[in-house]
C-alpha cells in the first residue's frame, strides 16, 4: 500500500502529472474575482470566505478524472483490482494521494490568496483549519465520482455534474466556519458538522467507490 | 401463493399492466381534473392572498411527488441491487424524468406565487435551495443513465449513485436549514391536531395530490413498459444478426 502511495505521488509530481494545475486554477480564480466585482476591500473581505472555499472546491474537481483514468487506460487498474490488497484500500490510497498532491497544496496556498482578497485577520486560522478538515471529504467524494465515470468516453463533464451536488454540504459548513470566524462568532457547530461529514465520508465512501469500480471493471 | 415478486417477471408485469395502465391513466386524468377544477373554481379566495392561493393545488402535489419519486427510485435501486430484478431497475430509470419535471413544476409554480406574495421570484430559502439541489441530483442521475451503454452496468452504477445521492441530499437539506433561515412557510398539511388549513382547501388539495400520485404511477408504468419493449427489440435485433 505504501508502494502504491509513493508510486502515485511520484507519478503526480513528475512532468506531465498535472501537479500544479489545481494550484494555478485556484490562483487565477482569486485574481479574477476582484477583477469582476471591483477592488473595494469591504466587498472583497465579505465574500472572501465563500470565494476561497468555492475556488478550492473547483480546483479539487479539476484533477479528479486523473485519479483513475490513466491507470484504467494502461490496464494497471485491472492489476490493482486482482492484487492481494483489497480494492477498498486501493481506493483509499488513491484518495489520499489525490489529497496530498491536490488539496494539501491548496490549503497551504490559501492564506496567500486570502491576503489578495482582504480576508479579515481573525479568519486565517479558521480558513486553514476548515480547509484541512473539509478537503479530505472533497477528495473521497471525488474519488467516488471518478470511480463512477472511469470507463466513460466523455466522463469529465459528467463527473462534475455528479460530484458537485455531493459537495454541497461540505461547502456550506466549510464556508460557514470561515465567515463566522471572520465575524468573530463562535464556530463550534459548523466545525463539528464539517468534521462529521469528513469522518463519515472517509469511513463509508471507499466501500461505495470500490463497489462501483468493480462494476466498471467487470 | 401470490407475491409481489411475481411482477419482477417482465412477462407477468407486461400482462398485468396491459389492463392496469389504461385504468390508471383514466383514473389519473379524472381525479386530477376533479381536484384542479374544484380547487381553481369552487374554493373561496383567501382573505389575504386572494386568488393566488389556488396555485397550491399544483404546487403542493408536484413538490410532494418530486420527493416521493426520489424515494421510489431509492427503493427500486435497492431492490435491483439486492434481488437483481430488471423491472425494478427499469422502473427507477423511468421514474427519474417524471421526478425531474415534478421538481421543475414545484419550482416554477413557487416562483409564480412568490412574485406577488413575497415580492421576489426566488429567495435562497432552505426549502427552495434544497429543491434546486434535488433538481441537480435528478439531472446527474439521468445524465449517468444516458451515458452508459451496457444496460446492466448502467443499472448498477445509477443504483449506487441513487443510494449515495440520497444520503447527501438529506445532508444538503439540513445543511441548507443551518445555512439560512427561510421565507417559506412550514408544512402545508400536518397530521398533528390544530391544522392550519380549512377543509374547503384541504379536500380539493387531497384530491389533486391523489391525482398527481396516479399521474406519476401511470407515467412510470408507461415508461417501464417502453424500456422493456426497447430491451426486447434489442434482443430481437441481436438474434437476427446472429442468424
Q: What are phi and psi of A6, to 5 degrees?
A: -65, -35
By the 10 Å C-beta count (0-12 exposed, 13-18 middle, 19+ buried), B204 is classed as buried
pTM above 0.90, yes or no: no
State the pLDDT at residue A23.
Answer: 87
Cα distances from A207 to residues A86, A92, A137, B153, B213, in angstroms, run 10, 9, 14, 17, 35
In this prediction, residue A11 has a pLDDT band, given cuts at 50, 70 and 90, of confident
State the pLDDT at residue B2.
Answer: 62
- CB environment B67-100: b (16+ within 10 A), e (fewer): bbbbebbbebbebbbeeebbbbbbbbbbbbbbbb
Residues near A139 by Cβ (< 8 Å), separated by ≥ 6?
A: A60, A95, A96, A98, A99, A102, A103
B211: pLDDT strictly greater than 60: yes
Q: How many angstroms separate the CA atoms of A120 and A218, rounded? A: 52
ipTM of the complex: 0.86
In SS3 terms, chain A reads as CHHHHHHHHHHHHCCCCCCCHHHHHHHHHHHHHHHHHCCCHHHHHHHHHHHHHHHHHHHHHHCHHHCCHHHHHCCHHHHHHHCCCCHHHHHHHHHHHHHHHHHHHHHHHHHHHHHHCCCCCCHHHHHHHHHHHHHHHHHHHHHHHHHHCCCCCCHHHHHHHHHHHHHHHHHHHHHHHHHHHHHCCCCHHHHHHHHHHHHHHHHHHHHHHHHHHHHHHC
A154: pLDDT strictly greater than 80: no
CB contact under 8 A, A193 and B179: no
| Residues 132 through 151 of chain A touching chain B, CB cutoff 8 Å | 144, 148-149, 151
State the pLDDT at residue A196.
Answer: 92
Q: What are phi and psi of B46, to 5 degrees?
A: -75, 145
Q: Which residues of chain B lie closer than 8 angstroms to A166, CB-CB?
A: 164-165, 168
The mean pLDDT of B66-94, rounded to a whole number, is 92
8-state DSSP, B48: T
pLDDT tens sequence across A17-36: 567 788 888 999 888 988 99
CB contact under 8 A, A169 and B171: yes
pLDDT tens sequence across A58-72: 988 888 888 888 888
- Residue for grid cell 454541497: A168
Q: Where is B45: in which H helix or E strand? A: none
Higher pLDDT, A21 or B138: B138
Arithmetic mean of pLDDT over chain A: 87
Q: Which of A11, A18, A7, A52 is nearest to A34 (CA)?
A: A52
State the pLDDT at residue B183.
Answer: 63
> Which of A140, A162, A170 to probe the B interface (max B CBs under 10 A)?
A162
In this prediction, residue A83 has a pLDDT band, given cuts at 50, 70 and 90, of confident
In this prediction, residue B32 has a pLDDT band, given cuts at 50, 70 and 90, of very high
What is the widest separation between alpha-carbon atoms in chain B? 73
- CB environment A22-46: b (16+ within 10 A), e (fewer): beebbbebbeebbeeeeeeeeebbb
DSSP reduced 3-state for B173: helix
State the pLDDT at residue B148.
Answer: 86
8-state DSSP, B50: B
B74: pLDDT strictly greater than 90: yes
Q: How close, in Å, is residue A168 to chain B by CA atoms?
A: 6
- Pairs of CB atoms within 8 A across A/B: 72
State the pLDDT at residue A143.
Answer: 93
CB contact under 8 A, A158 and B171: no
Query: Could you tell me the residue ranges of all domains in chain A?
Result: 2-18+64-104+121-217
Amino acid at each position: 500500500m505504501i508502494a502504491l502511495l509513493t508510486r502515485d505521488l511520484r507519478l503526480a509530481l513528475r512532468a506531465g502529472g498535472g501537479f500544479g494545475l489545481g494550484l494555478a486554477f485556484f490562483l487565477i480564480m482569486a485574481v479574477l474575482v476582484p477583477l469582476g466585482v471591483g477592488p473595494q476591500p469591504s466587498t472583497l473581505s465579505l465574500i472572501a470566505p465563500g470565494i476561497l472555499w468555492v475556488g478550492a472546491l473547483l480546483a479539487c474537481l479539476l484533477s479528479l478524472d486523473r485519479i483513475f483514468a490513466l491507470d484504467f487506460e494502461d490496464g494497471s487498474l485491472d492489476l490493482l483490482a486482482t492484487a492481494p490488497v483489497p480494492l477498498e484500500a486501493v481506493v483509499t490510497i488513491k484518495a489520499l494521494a489525490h489529497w496530498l498532491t491536490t488539496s494539501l497544496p491548496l490549503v497551504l496556498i490559501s492564506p496567500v490568496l486570502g491576503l489578495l482578497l482582504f480576508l479579515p485577520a481573525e479568519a486565517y486560522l479558521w480558513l486553514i483549519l476548515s480547509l484541512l478538515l473539509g478537503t479530505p471529504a472533497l477528495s473521497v467524494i471525488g474519488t467516488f465520482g471518478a470511480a463512477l465515470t472511469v470507463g466513460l468516453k466523455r466522463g469529465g463533464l459528467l463527473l462534475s455534474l455528479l460530484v458537485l451536488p455531493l459537495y454541497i454540504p461540505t461547502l456550506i459548513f466549510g464556508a460557514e466556519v470561515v465567515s463566522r470566524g471572520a465575524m468573530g462568532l463562535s464556530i463550534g457547530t459548523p466545525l463539528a458538522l464539517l468534521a462529521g461529514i469528513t469522518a463519515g465520508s472517509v469511513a463509508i465512501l471507499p466501500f461505495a467507490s470500490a463497489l462501483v469500480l468493480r462494476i466498471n471493471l467487470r | 401463493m401470490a407475491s409481489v415478486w411475481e411482477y419482477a417477471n417482465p412477462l407477468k408485469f407486461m400482462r398485468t399492466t396491459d389492463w392496469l395502465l389504461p385504468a390508471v391513466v383514466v383514473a389519473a386524468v379524472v381525479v386530477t381534473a376533479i381536484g384542479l377544477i374544484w380547487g381553481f373554481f369552487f374554493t373561496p379566495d383567501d382573505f389575504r392572498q386572494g386568488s393566488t392561493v389556488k396555485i397550491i393545488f399544483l404546487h403542493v402535489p408536484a413538490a410532494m411527488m418530486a420527493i416521493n419519486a426520489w424515494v421510489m427510485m431509492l427503493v427500486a435501486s435497492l431492490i435491483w441491487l439486492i434481488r437483481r430484478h430488471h423491472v425494478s431497475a427499469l422502473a427507477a430509470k423511468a421514474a427519474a424524468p417524471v421526478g425531474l419535471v415534478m421538481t421543475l413544476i414545484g419550482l416554477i409554480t413557487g416562483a409564480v406565487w412568490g412574485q406577488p406574495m413575497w415580492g421576489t421570484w426566488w429567495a435562497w430559502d432552505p426549502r427552495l435551495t434544497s429543491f434546486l439541489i434535488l433538481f441537480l441530483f435528478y439531472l446527474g442521475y439521468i445524465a449517468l443513465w444516458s451515458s452508459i451503454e451496457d444496460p446492466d452496468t448502467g443499472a448498477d452504477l445509477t443504483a449506487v449513485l441513487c443510494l449515495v445521492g440520497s444520503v447527501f441530499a438529506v445532508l444538503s437539506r439540513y445543511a441548507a436549514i443551518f445555512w439560512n433561515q427561510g421565507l417559506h412557510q412550514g408544512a402545508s398539511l400536518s397530521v398533528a391536531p390544530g391544522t392550519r388549513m380549512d377543509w374547503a382547501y384541504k379536500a380539493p388539495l387531497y384530491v389533486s395530490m391523489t391525482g398527481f400520485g396516479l399521474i406519476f404511477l401511470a407515467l412510470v408504468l408507461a415508461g417501464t413498459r417502453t424500456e422493456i419493449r426497447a430491451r426486447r427489440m434489442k434482443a430481437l435485433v441481436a438474434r437476427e444478426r446472429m442468424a
